[in-house]
Amino acid sequence: MTNTAVPSNSPRLIAIWLLICCATIFGMVVLGGVTRLTGSGLSMVQWAPIMGILPPMSLAEWQETFSLYQQYPEYRLKNFHMTLDDFKSIFWFEYAHRLLGRGIGVIFFLPFLFFVFTGRINRSLTPKLLFMFLLGGLQGLMGWYMVKSGLIDDPHVSQYRLTAHLSLAIIIYAYMFWVAMDLLAPKTLIPAQTPQKRLAQLSVLINIVIFITIMSGGFVAGTRAGFAFNTFPLMNGKLIPDGLFTLTPIWHNFFENIITVQFDHRVLATTLFLLIPVFWAKSRKLELKPTARLSINLLLAALVLQITLGISTLLLVVPVALAATHQAGAVILLTASLFVSHQLYRRMI
């Protein structure tokens, strides 16, 4: 049980711990992107949360692990030419991804126990932290659920499960970041019907559009839509390409038609490209605290960086390093946007 009176420095310590967890989740998202881009995600065909911590240590263990992989569709239909050394090159990415996932659990759980038993967590914070832990466990299950979709007949993970896996990671990251910001600088709601309040509400809309855009990026990755129509701003010579709604029922196009999937991602990115500068311009007309002003400037800078990375990734036909950086840029943009919202939902003048 926690004590009602917690040490005065506890909120700051817990916030730092949560931000460290956020940093590891950020690394997990980027490494997950690299794993997907290098075709490594199906190299580990078993889910062993405890025993799977250790990689193959001997030649016999490597051969056994490779033999298991050879029984599944990715090897039989796609990588039948692969040698043991080739297999190792993809195995290590997926292994590192899973190991980091376990590491995040340890980084979260052990300090959590320390904070509980030293009476540093107040009653209002406890359910939030338990919810984070629950979401982390669900994320591990979601990751295996995603991998299983590529181990049956088609050596390709479901874009629906991939996007769900990515989205849950982003939700956990955003929730942790927001709670950490609350601990560092508790927010005070500003009076209703003020320009600052309306600006804060617009910032929430920006957060939502960024999250939907990230989800859209998951479908782009899952359908490999980024490898098609590698020109900008036109797609096949047109702003609005042909073939957007060729699948039936029509809603399948938004998730399975690579033309529609990529077009939607472009539309959402363009929406942010227009919305955030308008938001920035509106903020210039208001008297804001320096930290709030800085957060909005950082948001605009993050947008410019992300748009540049996105266009470059498309034009260069999705090189691994650049595509992974683009995925990192998405999380950076969301982080900047959340920081803006938290600043604006405090008394600013």
Q: Could you give the CA distance from residue 170 to residue 142 in angstroms, rounded to a whole number?
A: 13
Q: What range defines the domain where residue 222 resides?
A: 188-349
| Domain shared by 207 and 335, yes or no | yes
pLDDT of residue 349: 46
pLDDT of residue 264: 97
Report pLDDT digits (tens) over 277-295: 999 999 999 988 899 999 9
Q: Could you give the CA distance from residue 298 to residue 107 in angstroms, rounded to a whole number?
A: 29
What are the two backbone dihedrals, phi and then psi, of residue 235, each rounded to the nearest 5 degrees?
Answer: -115, 115
Mean pLDDT throughout 200-224? 97
Helix, strand, coil percentages (3-state) for the chain, rounded to 5, are: 70, 0, 30
Would you call 1 helix, strand, or coil by DSSP?
coil
Q: Is residue 27 part of a domain?
A: yes
Angle CA 207–201–329, to nearest 5 = 20
| Domain shared by 180 and 195, yes or no | no
- Of 160, 186, 212, which one is at a domain's C-terminal end? 186
| Domain shared by 215 and 300, yes or no | yes
Mean pLDDT throughout 227-235? 95
> Which pLDDT band, with edges at 50, 70 and 90, does 9 fall under?
confident
Mean pLDDT throughout 329-340? 98
CA atoms within 13 Å, Cβ hemisphere of 254: 10
| Domain shared by 178 and 206, yes or no | no
| Domain shared by 23 and 160, yes or no | yes
| Domain shared by 290 and 168, yes or no | no
Best CA proximity match to 33, nearest among 336, 268, 325, 333: 325
| Domain shared by 158 and 267, yes or no | no
Q: Is residue 1 part of a domain?
A: no
| Domain shared by 58 and 171, yes or no | yes
Are the C-beta atoms of 202 and 344 separated by less than 8 Å?
no
Q: Is residue 115 part of a domain?
A: yes
Stated pTM of the model: 0.93
| Domain shared by 103 and 234, yes or no | no
Best CA proximity match to 330, nearest among 260, 258, 268, 244: 268
For residue 150 the two structure tokens come to 């590529």
Mean pLDDT throughout 59-85? 94
- Of 186, 211, 235, which one is at a domain's C-terminal end? 186
Q: Could you give the CA distance from residue 206 to residue 198 in angstroms, rounded to a whole number?
A: 13
Are the C-beta atoms of 219 and 163 separated by less than 8 Å?
yes
Q: Could you give the CA distance from residue 250 to residue 243 in angstroms, rounded to a whole number?
A: 12
> Which pLDDT band, with edges at 50, 70 and 90, does 84 fall under?
very high
Q: Is residue 2 part of a domain?
A: no
Q: Is residue 224 part of a domain?
A: yes
Share of the chain above pLDDT 90, in %: 83
- Of 186, 209, 234, which one is at a domain's C-terminal end? 186
| Domain shared by 216 and 116, yes or no | no
Mean pLDDT throughout 76-83? 93
For residue 271 the two structure tokens come to 């929406």
- The yes-or-no verdict on residue 303 having pLDDT over 50 is yes
Best CA proximity match to 147, nearest among 105, 97, 100, 77: 97
